[in-house]
Chain A
Amino acid sequence: MTAYILCFALFSVGLYCIARKRNIIKIIIGIGIMEYAVNLFFVLLGYKKEGRSPIFAADQAIKNMVDPLPQAFVLTSIVLGLSLTLMLVAVAIRIYEKYGTFDITKINRLKG
């Protein structure tokens, strides 16, 4: 249970970072933290203490296995997170070229 609560704490740290930080690179890092928290929570759901890898064979007793499905989900989710981070960093570099700053409060031509 403690592990789950710590996951939610990590999630909140990421959310705080996105909401409160002014530097867009820090915002991107916040997004990374938040994604990692969700991925960690997901993979912990399938974890069992002293569990073993789920290999099915005729002579294997089926007991105490780790759930492999969340691991497959999380791998996919990590790939999505990678592409998203790349996209955000690419946009951040372009923003720096155009605005000359990473400060989100100074990037505000869209007001109105």
Chain B
Amino acid sequence: METIVQYFIIIPLAAAFIIPIIGKRVKIAAPVVSCAALLGMVVLSVLAASSVSVSKALVYKVGHAASALGISMVIDPLSAFMLVIVNTIALIAAVYSIGYMEKYTDKWKFYTLFMAMVGGINGVLVAGDLFNLYVFLEVAAIAGYFLVAFGIEPEALEASFKYAVMGTVASAFILLGIALLYGYASTLNMADLAGVLAAAPQAHALKLVAVLFIMGFGLKAALFPFHAWLPYAHSAAPAPVSAMLSGVSIKVLGIYALARVLFNVLGITPAIAAIFITLAVLSMVIASILAFGQSDIKRLFAYSSISQIGYIALGLGIGTPLAILGALFHLLNHSVFKSLLFMNSGAIEHMAGTRDLNKIRGVMVNSPVTGVTTLTGALSICGIPPFGGFWSKLIIIIACVQVNRPGLAFTAAVVSALTLAYYFKALTPALFGTGPEFKHKRVGLSMGTAMIALALICVISAGMLLPNAGNRLMKDAAAVLTGGKAYALSVSETPRQTPEPGIGSGSGAGSGHKK
């Protein structure tokens, strides 16, 4: 069972390798290979999700190295939960791309980069040590920079350049944090590191490391003061890429990595929780206010992403089991409906030939499929009761009240109302208004299927809360974060061994004069 862990990296990277070889000559090969690979990974991720629990993580040691110095890949309930989301969204986005990417040339290049990005994201999720987390984060990020610029319009190139510069600064901060941590603890294996740090006294260096990680991963997650790149990058990219970046990438590279490092490795302190909550509230409020002024449909969705990421960070900052459950459930819901909305925006742009909300009129009449799915996604993100978005926001608000923070609960409720207001203002005329007919009236089979599939997940995702459904997985995933450093115990069944004493003592001495 442990051996399946490696396939989450091998399959997408192998697909990214095969597609350029055959995809250039055989046009159909690129989408077929990537959809098949992603379908396989959805099955594998469900299999992995069904076989992990809080006490039992899947650990694969690369090259069967017995010590903490080797590379290990870990799937625990949190990774498994994220893997299921990532691969499902990626599969649907790949299906959507078959139709959407028709207007671009060299589609095989798109699928190559797409699979490389999925490989990087999966790699971040299964990485058992911080350095591999960083490497896969860079793989996913560089593929992302390319994908944003894929259309090579001036705007796309500009957005890609700005995104790449900011992303690189973030990566440099992360690597600096990792280097400091290595200098302090002489290990980077996350389970091992948690053990070493728990035994060592709390040094000031660790606070600096935590701040560097919050800056670095916070920029990847587009939390408020670090959000400037997101509206550019997500609105300039092709629609399936926006769906992946907004639906999956910011959550895995930002929120997941930050939560994993802070909760399971460094340990969460009241000060860090307070930073989390502050950034979360600022993101929620400021991004929803900025969203009011947007006339470009994709920029509207991008600002709403920043605001919704705030909800997830708020849940994590409060840190009670219920709040973390709410945060993870909101993460799931946001992945689904934000991918759906970006795909809708792509379909609308494809049909109407514009992204300007002042010009788009009558989507519902011209294309009922796009209209109804857009409405589903919008209702879900606004928190209208039967949909998943309502329940996740409700859980977060209840958790705020439980820890006696009515101010936060009130803010979350107000931001939810603001969300409803700006979506209502922007989308009502676009969906129901009357205007000139669209140039194209059909979205095509692949785009339609993808949007309907995501809309269905939107409707049924509330079922995850029912007992015996996905609830066990989500509860276990939340328990991984609330358990804090107990994660280390579930991963490292064998205590730390140093078979080669030279390395351990050598680096220990190397770091000695640093402190």
> Does B467 belong to the interface (CB within 8 Å)?
no
Q: Taking each of B149, B169, B179, B186, which has the highest tally of chain A beta carbons within 10 Å of its own beta carbon?
A: B179
Most chain A beta carbons < 10 A, residue from B157, B162, B182: B157
| A-B pairs, 8 with minimum CB distance | A67-B507, A62-B502, A42-B179, A98-B154, A45-B183, A80-B138, A65-B506, A38-B175
Q: Could you say which of B146, B154, B513 contacts A1, with CB atoms under 8 Å apart?
A: B513
| A95–B158 touching, CB < 8 Å | yes
Interface check A9, CB cutoff 8 A: no
Contact B158 A48, beta carbon cutoff 8 Å? no
A15 touches which of B142, B169, B182 (Cβ 8 Å)? B169
B413 adjacent to chain A (CB < 8 Å): no
Q: How far is the CA of A38 from the CA of B179 in the complex (A)?
A: 8
In whole Å, how far is A100's beta carbon from the nearest beta carbon of chain B? 10
- Residues in chain B within 8 A of chain A (CB atoms): 69, 131, 135, 138-139, 142, 145-146, 149, 152, 154-155, 157-162, 164-165, 168-169, 172, 175-176, 179, 182-183, 186, 232, 236, 296, 299, 500-503, 506-507, 509-511, 513-514
Which residues of the other chain, B, contact A68 by a CB distance below 8 angstroms? 503
Chain B, residue nearest A110 (CB): B232
Query: Across the interface, which residues of B come within 8 angstroms of A18, CB to CB?
Result: 165, 169
How far, in Å, is B298 (CB) from chain A's closest CB?
A: 12
A107 is an interface residue with CB less than 8 A from chain B: yes
A90 to B250, CA, bound (A): 24
The dominant DSSP class at the B interface is helix
Asked if A6 is at the interface (CB within 8 A of a chain B CB), the reply is: no
Chain A residues within an 8 Å CB radius of B507 = 45-46, 67, 69
Q: Give the interface size bracket for A toward B.
A: 35 or more
A23 in the interface (beta carbon within 8 A): no
Q: How far is the CB of A17 from chain B (nearest CB, A)?
A: 11
User: Contacts of A88 on B, CB cut-off 8 Å?
Assistant: 161, 164-165, 168
CB within 8 Å of B: which of A94-111? 94-95, 98-99, 107-110
User: Please, which residues of chain B bring their CB within 8 A of the CB of A67?
Assistant: 186, 503, 506-507, 510
A62 to B507, CA, bound (A): 13
A-B pairs with beta carbons under 8 Å apart, 6 shown: A4-B514, A64-B506, A76-B135, A87-B145, A107-B158, A108-B158
Q: Which B residues touch A87, using CB under 8 A?
A: 142, 145-146, 164
What 0/1 pattern do residues 67 to 84 of A give for CB contact below 8 A with B?
111100100110010011
Within 8 A of B (CB), among A35-56: 35, 38, 41-42, 45-48, 51, 54, 56
| A92 & B513 in contact (Cβ 8 Å cutoff) | no
CA distance A45 to B506 in the complex (A): 11
A35 and B172: CB pair below 8 A? yes
Contact A24 B157 (CB under 8 A): no
Closest Cβ neighbor of A67 among chain B residues: B507
Which of chain B's residues have a CB closer than 8 A to the CB of A73? Answer: 131, 182
CB pair A95–B161 under 8 Å, yes or no, is yes
In the assembled complex, which residues on chain B have CB atoms less than 8 Å from the CB atom of A42?
A: 175, 179, 182
Report yes or no: A95 in contact with B503, Cβ–Cβ below 8 A: no
Of A41, A91, A110, the contact of B236 (CB 8 Å cutoff): A110
Contacts of A15 in B (CB 8 A): 169
Contact: A54 with B502, CB < 8 Å? yes
CB–CB A11/B176 < 8 A: yes
Contacts of B131 in A (CB 8 A): 73, 76
B317 to chain A, nearest CB (A): 28
In the complex, the answer to whether B155 meets A109 with C-beta atoms within 8 Å is yes
**Cα–Cα distance between A88 and B164 once the two chains are bound (Å):** 7
Please report the C-alpha to C-alpha distance between residue A98 and residue B157 in the assembled complex, in whole angstroms: 9
